[in-house]
Structure 1
Amino acid sequence: MASYDPHTQKLLTFHDAVPRFLDGRDTPRAYLERCLDVIETREPEVQAFVTMNIDGARAAADEAGKRYAEGRPLSPIDGMPIGIKDLFETKDMPTQMGSPVWAGWESGRDAAHVHGLRKAGAVVLGKLVTTELGFSFPGKTHNPFDASRTPGGSSSGSAAAIGAGMLPAAIGSQVVGSVIRPAGYCGNVAIKPTFGALNRGGGHSSLSQSHIGVHAGSVEDAWATCWQIANLAGGDVGHPGLYGDREPMAPTAPQRLIRLETAGWTDIDGESRAAFESVVEHLVRQGVSVIGRADDADVETYEQLSAESLELSIVICMFELRWPLIGYRDRGPGMLSDFMLGRLADAEAQTLEDYRAMLAKREDIRKAFAALKGKADGFITLSSPGPAPKGLETTGNPSMNAATSITGAPVWSLPLLAADGMPLGVQLGCFPHQDAKATGHARWLLDSFLTQA
């Protein structure tokens, strides 16, 4: 495959097909069939799907086609084919969570966000590969740009399906780096909204920093998907949901951004570092002020405190997972990977006092991040320390994602760069509940950076 170039790579989009549905030049069924053609060609190598309900998807697309013909679509995503990460329940397909523990399991219901998507007219085509129980032990999926490399995880199939042009949108989720990192590896647009903005009900996702996110071929389709979920299914219990209008915010340049190094900065290779600097230089040329840890004491404080975000996130979440993992382990050999068994053993050695201390550290990081709110519109860094590594035994390094998972901030991954002939994402975010603002910044940066001479 030719070397990846973000300036020429075209992802599958949906919002721009809607006018053709309304005037009869195209139909949702024909759009779905084109997706199925790509899946038939690419899936044997990429292996993004666990299962599909093609007959159900065709029926849903036909119903959407009738609504368009009558001029009454349900929403901007009516008729849009979408894949669901296999951590989340679907009434018409098994939910197996990348684990033999759940092989063949069917709940007979939709997760809250899947229910919202169907109410909006989205065409739920299939379940997409996740790593074991949404953690780090890899599934079967390959990177769509180089099958010898990881697609990232845990939203492996979601990212790969978008990168391969199989779908215009897919659902992922993130505890540490499971939306943003694979999006960067597979050349996606993706959003991890503010923590709690999208309802997690009906999935293996109750951890204290788990977010639902969306992979897509465009900012417009990702935002429309998030907005419909939030307004039809709500946010998490006790959370106010996603703020913002139905239409994504117009492209808007930030006035000031904080460049974050994160714990992953020392792992960045030279080519990836130079590529990121080209984005910073572009921002400065466009009149955006960019500050870093050397320029502001509060930024330095946050960088220092968040340096342990990765291990802190993992240890907190594994403590929270002791139940049900102990029950899975007790079913006998082969239920959990050796990786998961090792993490569980570490978690069993933790006490309640240890957990309280970890939560206190997390709160310190959140307070330090909140102190930055008046200093800039948002922040920017890479989505990963480099492109997807070779080999399928790892999902890559999430060290540049953990800090923003801990803070619950809204973050976009934007396919702006390339390194080693592969996609390299840029992470652009704002402060909690500023999802709409982050979306305007993301649209502006995509447009201005990829169209520069």
Structure 2
Amino acid sequence: MSSVNLLTLPATEVASQIARGAVSAEDYVRACLSRIEEVEPEVGAFAHISPDYAIDQARNLDRHRLEGKPLGPLHGIPVAIKDIIDTEDFPTEFGSPLFAGRRADRDAAIITRLRAAGAVIIGKTVTTEFAYFYPGKTRNPHDVERTPGGSSSGTAAAVAAGMVPLAIGTQTNGSIIRPASYCGVYAAKPSKGLVPRTGILPLSETLDVAGPFARSLPDLALLLQAISGYDEDDPETRPGMVPDFPAITVENFPVEPRFAFVRTPVWDKAEPEAQRAFEKLAESLGENCVRIDLPEIYADAWDIHRTIMYAEMAYNLGGFVDRGGEAVSEVLRNLIAEGRTITAVAYQKAREEARELARSLVGYFDHCNAIITPAAPGVAPKGHSTTGSPIFSTLWTLSGLPTLSLPLLTGEDEMPLGVQLVGGPRDDARLLRNANWLVNKLNPPKTRRKRA
């Protein structure tokens, strides 16, 4: 099989072929490296990559298979890692010159799990500065004049450009869902506590999550399975069995799911073309979709989120900013300054209000299986000084509910427009199954990629 054809296959299929010896891990890694060499100069998805090291990992995995040893579910599959996640074998620099050349003493918990699953850690992807708003070098593979989103900029772009089949990002506001929408790939912001954050740069302990990116829903489920589960060093995780996400994703439904098309208090921030696309989507689902406008009590969510995030980021990043001076962007310095003005009373009040809003959202899932809402205000904005607005992710991040970005729609210039699907509390497995039904129902054509 040619390297070009190999790159078009889902990761689930390639993993199966590697396991039975039809394809070697080395051949697949070399195909990915060839694609990276082709498009990386224009897309700029990677902060660090080592072709020789990637090939060495693949060769070791091929020997492992030939020796008849047990294979993990990701055996031989390259995974790219956002550059705020610690890796022993690559620098982790947080998108900042302050940490140039920094190397962690040990892998993050999810990296340990990826290695155990047989993944090839192919490199570190570009993040915005300290995973906030100041953009890095990455461009959108569909149109390099547009942003890929942030802060998981390189993560989304690497998957969208066909450089890697799978990648890991993080979200504190909209940093998984928004870039996935802009770049036209699948992504999951898991329920808080499903994926351990040990070894990941903390921005906001209340809000931070890590999650997978992929080019298909089964691939997304495969990667989520590999990184989920209890970790004693992350108190948000819980002991217990992780659901079989890949199997549940493709289960047949006893009855068709019901969706709620939800317009939040920031619906007017969606671009007109995006509003029309979502209205049409809801209409196409007929009796499988009800329409809900959230009441104005939810309008406070954006201020609540800001209070929590700014206070916790000031605590976690303030020392770096103080030492960095002018080497730190003005946008981050301003955030830290504002965060330091937030009183303990205001912070604690915001956290309690966040819990109340999360509890009140649970009732909506008595009437639907999942919520449909925009992943972003519209398609990726033109220009490289912005990563776009996370406004359509804020409420769901604050509530800790699981969300997916599904590349089901297109907008201006055939650019991707993601559908955000929101599930009930810790109901990630059913959310994946609902998403699979929706994808098959709509059966969208493949989004056209403008080759970088």
Task: Tell me whether 75-84 or 320-329 shows the greater mean CA deviation.
Answer: 320-329
Relative to 1, partners in 2 of residues 1:266 and 1:451: Cα closer, same or farther, differing over 3 Å? closer
Determine helix, strand or coil for the equivalent of 1:127.
strand
Match of 1:414 in 2: 406
Task: Tell me whether 148-157 or 198-207 shows the greater mean CA deviation.
Answer: 198-207
In 1, Cα distance between equivalents of 2:190 and 2:357: 19
Please report the TM-score for the alignment, with normalisation by the length of structure 2: 0.90
Contact kept? 2:182, 2:418, Cα under 8 Å: yes
Structure 1 segments, 4+ long, off by >6 Å, are none
Match of 2:208 in 1: 210
Contact kept? 1:131, 1:154, Cα under 8 Å: yes
CA deviation digits over 1:196-244, x for unaligned, max 9? 1001000113521111111111111211111111258589424226741
Task: Tell me whether 201-210 or 322-331 shows the greater mean CA deviation.
Answer: 322-331
Match of 2:424 in 1: 431
Contact kept? 1:176, 1:314, Cα under 8 Å: no
Match of 1:149 in 2: 146
Match of 1:372 in 2: 364
Relative to 1, partners in 2 of residues 1:308 and 1:387: Cα closer, same or farther, differing over 3 Å? farther
Aligned partner of 1:97: which letter?
A: F
In 1, Cα distance between equivalents of 2:189 and 2:233: 13
Aligned pairs for 1:386-397 within 5 A:
386-397=378-389
Deviation at 1:89, TM superposition (A): 0.4
Please report the TM-score for the alignment, with normalisation by the length of structure 1: 0.90
Determine helix, strand or coil for the equivalent of 2:327.
coil
CA deviation digits over 1:9-45, x for unaligned, max 9? x966211123322343311111111111111111011
Aligned partner of 2:430: which letter?
A: K
Task: Tell me whether 323-332 or 199-208 shows the greater mean CA deviation.
Answer: 323-332
Contact kept? 1:263, 1:400, Cα under 8 Å: no
Which of 28, 33, 39 is the aligned partner of 2:30? 33
CA deviation digits over 1:156-205, x for unaligned, max 9? 00000011011111000111100001000001111111111001000113
Match of 2:269 in 1: 267
Structure 1 segments unaligned to the other structure (5+ residues):
1-9, 294-299
Deviation at 1:71, TM superposition (A): 5.6
Deviation at 1:326, TM superposition (A): 2.8
Determine helix, strand or coil for the equivalent of 2:111.
helix
Contact kept? 1:387, 1:422, Cα under 8 Å: yes
Task: Tell me whether 162-171 or 332-341 shows the greater mean CA deviation.
Answer: 332-341
In 2, Cα distance between equivalents of 1:188 and 1:151: 11
Contact kept? 1:11, 1:217, Cα under 8 Å: no
In 1, Cα distance between equivalents of 2:51 and 2:298: 44
In 2, Cα distance between equivalents of 1:11 and 1:442: 22
Aligned partner of 2:142: which letter?
A: F
CA deviation digits over 1:335-380, x for unaligned, max 9? 3210011111111111111112211221221121122232221211
In 2, Cα distance between equivalents of 1:203 and 1:220: 25
Match of 1:341 in 2: 333
Contact kept? 1:116, 1:233, Cα under 8 Å: no
Match of 1:7 in 2: none
Aligned partner of 1:439: which letter?
A: L
Aligned pairs for 1:14-413 within 5 A:
14-69=11-66, 72-205=69-202, 207-231=205-229, 236-240=234-238, 243-245=242-244, 247-249=246-248, 250-251=250-251, 252=253, 254-284=256-286, 287-293=287-293, 300-301=294-295, 304-413=296-405
Provide the aligned C-alpha RMSD in A: 2.1
Deviation at 1:308, TM superposition (A): 3.5
In 2, Cα distance between equivalents of 1:418 and 1:246: 28
In 1, Cα distance between equivalents of 2:341 and 2:229: 42
Contact kept? 1:254, 1:377, Cα under 8 Å: no
Contact kept? 2:15, 2:76, Cα under 8 Å: no
Relative to 1, partners in 2 of residues 1:272 and 1:238: Cα closer, same or farther, differing over 3 Å? closer
Contact kept? 2:217, 2:436, Cα under 8 Å: yes
In 2, Cα distance between equivalents of 1:369 and 1:62: 49
Task: Tell me whether 388-397 or 72-81 shows the greater mean CA deviation.
Answer: 72-81
Match of 1:446 in 2: 439
Relative to 1, partners in 2 of residues 1:324 and 1:413: Cα closer, same or farther, differing over 3 Å? closer
Contact kept? 2:25, 2:62, Cα under 8 Å: yes
CA deviation digits over 1:291-316, x for unaligned, max 9? 312xxxxxx34xx2332433432331
CA deviation digits over 1:101-138, x for unaligned, max 9? 21211113100101110111100010001111111111
Q: How many residues are matched?
A: 433
Deviation at 1:431, TM superposition (A): 0.7
Match of 2:4 in 1: none
In 2, Cα distance between equivalents of 1:279 and 1:71: 49
In 1, Cα distance between equivalents of 2:437 and 2:69: 31
Aligned partner of 1:344: which letter?
A: I
